Structure 1
Amino acid sequence: MAMTQTQRLGIFLALALVMTATRVHLSLFNHDVRDASWAVFFLAGFWLRGSFRWAFPLLMAGAVLIDYLVINGQGIDFWSHYCVSVAYWFLIPAYLSLWMGGSWLARHQRGLSLSTLGLAAVALLVSQLVCYVLSNGSFYWLSNSVPQPRSFSAWFANLGDWYLPFLGTTAFYVGIGALLHVLVTQLARTLGHTAASRDLHH
């Protein structure tokens, strides 16, 4: 279904709002709310595939800006924070892998069907795994926050500890996005059929 630029902008703003609300853990929500950033980049790749040149850089800049404001708001220098090091730059290819997963799904999906559901699962699993290896691996091997000595066995153990929680959170938010997509698509079809029927009777 083709979208207007206004619709694309609306989707972008909605995704940016979700990322902001969950990434900063606003007290307006539950403090246990999980970060939806990974799902946001995957869904953006699916819904805004043709708008990569502006949508991805703006989402990426938004994620960094949120981190910067939150860390500085705690009275901590951004580059001195535990989670920020040279590995932080690897978030760009990590998030890009999620966008590409969503974009690949948009190109190969076959409407609202079981085959599309299967493709969605594959796209999410592969892109989320690449994102996780890039983000977690770069932090483990490059960040000074990880104590020496480092080893592959310890890294694999770390991967195992955190992978499933990250996958579950991302899948949860993507599932909500998929449900909204189905509802909007069905509503558009219903309205289209109603308008076509009305035209036939005139």
Structure 2
Amino acid sequence: MVKTLAQRLGIFVALAAVMAATRMHHSLLHHFDALPDASWGIFFLAGFWLRGSGRWAFPLLMAEAVLIDYLVISGQGLDFWSHYCVSVAYWFLIPSYFSLWLGGSWLARHQIGLRLQTLGMAVIALAVSWAACYLLSNGSFYWLSDSVPLPRNSAAWFANLGDWYLPFLQTTALYVGIGAVLHVLAVQIARALHADQAKLSR
């Protein structure tokens, strides 16, 4: 589906708003405490809906994520670079999130409309890109962050991977699933409007 610049900007703003609302819930927006962070799902959906706009959309979303983290941490009266979650491993969020973007972009390029085959490709694209993101973010934090006590070993890392595997997967799948439903509805509405216009033009 070809999108105008206005449509792309609208999609970007909507995705950025969802990420802001959910990523900030840790301290600044207490009434969003029930909402898990949508960032991973947002980057996958952005890659799908904004394929071809990665030169501006991905850096802006990445900058937003970092800005939100800074606001949340500094809002707690803490030094950003001294926070538990921030270390040299923090920079690995860039390739981590980009792997999700690539997964969504790959799906957008190869999908064949609202067919069962597209659903299968979506599951594969999400599974592979999510796994890459999870390994990069979790692995970099475990092996590079000073917050992880020494000694480090592979057995402990795999145990850590297992502890967080399902929560991160479920959250990402939830938001991508919501995005998929919205996508199907948008396509169906667009088709209905196009059909009505075709009838009126006869």
For residue 30 of structure 2, what is the amino acid of its counterpart? S
1:143-169 per-position Cα deviation (integer Å, ceiling 9, x unaligned): 000001100000001101101110000
The SS at the match of 1:62 is helix
Q: Which runs of 5+ in 1 are unaligned?
A: none
Q: Hey, what does 1:71 align to over in structure 2?
A: 73
Q: Distance in 2 between matches of 1:154 and 1:113?
A: 42
Q: Hey, what does 1:41 align to over in structure 2?
A: 43
Q: Distance in 1 between matches of 2:85 and 2:34?
A: 19
Q: Hey, what does 1:183 align to over in structure 2?
A: 185
For residue 161 of structure 1, what is the amino acid of its counterpart? D
The SS at the match of 2:81 is helix
* Deviation (angstroms), 1:33: 1.4
| Identity fraction in percent | 73
For residue 146 of structure 1, what is the amino acid of its counterpart? V
Matched, 1:148 2:116: no
For residue 31 of structure 2, what is the amino acid of its counterpart? L
Matched, 1:130 2:124: no
Q: Distance in 2 between matches of 1:32 and 1:179?
A: 21
For residue 27 of structure 1, what is the amino acid of its counterpart? H
For residue 93 of structure 1, what is the amino acid of its counterpart? P
Matches within 5 A, 1:1-202: 1-25=1-25, 26-29=29-32, 31-200=33-202
* Deviation (angstroms), 1:28: 3.1
Q: Distance in 2 between matches of 1:118 and 1:164?
A: 20
* Deviation (angstroms), 1:83: 0.3
The SS at the match of 1:2 is coil
For residue 39 of structure 1, what is the amino acid of its counterpart? G
The SS at the match of 1:28 is helix
Matched residues, number: 199
* Deviation (angstroms), 1:27: 2.1
Q: Distance in 1 between matches of 2:139 and 2:195?
A: 50
Q: Distance in 1 between matches of 2:13 and 2:104?
A: 18
For residue 81 of structure 1, what is the amino acid of its counterpart? H
Q: Distance in 2 between matches of 1:32 and 1:138?
A: 28
Normalising by structure 1, report the TM-score.
0.98
C-alpha RMSD of matched pairs (Å)? 0.6
The SS at the match of 1:49 is coil
- Deviation above 6 Å: which 4+ runs of structure 1? none
Q: Which runs of 5+ in 2 are unaligned?
A: none
Q: Distance in 2 between matches of 1:198 and 1:113?
A: 28
Q: Distance in 2 between matches of 1:162 and 1:53?
A: 31
The SS at the match of 2:30 is coil
Q: Distance in 2 between matches of 1:105 and 1:5?
A: 20
For residue 36 of structure 1, what is the amino acid of its counterpart? A
Q: Distance in 2 between matches of 1:74 and 1:82?
A: 13
